[in-house]
Amino acid sequence: MEVAIPAQAHASISDKTPRWQAHLSLRCVGGDYGARLVSTEHHGPLYVQKPFYPEGKNCVHIYPLHPPGGVVSGDALHIQLHAESKANVVITTPGATRFYKSRYKNLKQEANQSVINKITIRDGSCVEWLPMETIVFNGAQAKNNTQVYLDNSAHFIGWEVCCLGLTASDAPFEKGALSQRFELYREDKPLMIDRLHFSANSPLLGARSGLGGHTVYGTFACVPPIDHPLNESTQSQALLTRIREEMATRALAEKFSITWLNKVYLARYLGNNAEEARAGFSSIWHIIRPVLTGRTACPPRIWRT
């Protein structure tokens, strides 16, 4: 089922400046015919043109499209993904998510630009959430939340990378604020809740206990099913050692860390280069994916365009 509602019906002009309230709901199932995107519903400028199968029928790749190309004041983008019946799903974005400068002068107000992602994984399904980086422009007032809900049989691999300002273009993040959450739940009980909220002038950005003056940070998480061998101590330590050795080989040991906590494989990046962050997380993905799913890593085609 596909329901399309005219985008203009979701544009508010109460302050004489258009704003988008966009929603995209996706449902994927597995079965004898492979992994399929069986239903979509969208409102406003969020859409999926078609699913892709670079790995064959048993794993579907999905690229949500947002034609405006950025999130401005008043915009609220919501993506919901449901995976069930042993569906294998890779979802990424065609480009970076950009939170542009807020048009409101009062930057102390609550975030007025938001992207909310909710992923539900059930019945032995596996979702790999591999978006491009999020760029928070100077003056943005942004909220970026991702919530993942798993049952005991679900697999999840995902990352998020955030860039504060455009330092290479001499446009640092000097005004505005960001509220960010990355949450994982197993049977509605929290496995990991990452919450970060700061303004551009917060001491957190320069403190050693915070970002230490760096402008790019990222989180990688992997959650095996409850009965997977990766939840055993010997298996987990062997995998962590292998990943740490790979980071050392790439001379990235000082910028990446990885641990196994509450049966979640959790990696962090702190530095100044989004491409470096994604490349490091991709190398971890290449190691951990075959162990978790039995499938070698297959980078989405959109990354090569």
What residue segments make up the domains of the chain, in order of their start?
Answer: 2-12+22-304
What's the pLDDT at 7?
A: 37
Q: Which residues of the chain have pLDDT under 50?
A: 1-17, 107
pLDDT digits (tens, 9 = 90+) for 26-49: 999 999 999 999 999 999 999 999
Instruction: Give the Cα separation of 171 and 191 in Å (integer).
Output: 36
What's the pLDDT at 61?
A: 98
What's the pLDDT at 280?
A: 97
193, two tokens: 């809740």
What's the pLDDT at 169?
A: 86
Instruction: Give the Cα separation of 155 and 13 in Å (integer).
Output: 42
What's the pLDDT at 69?
A: 84
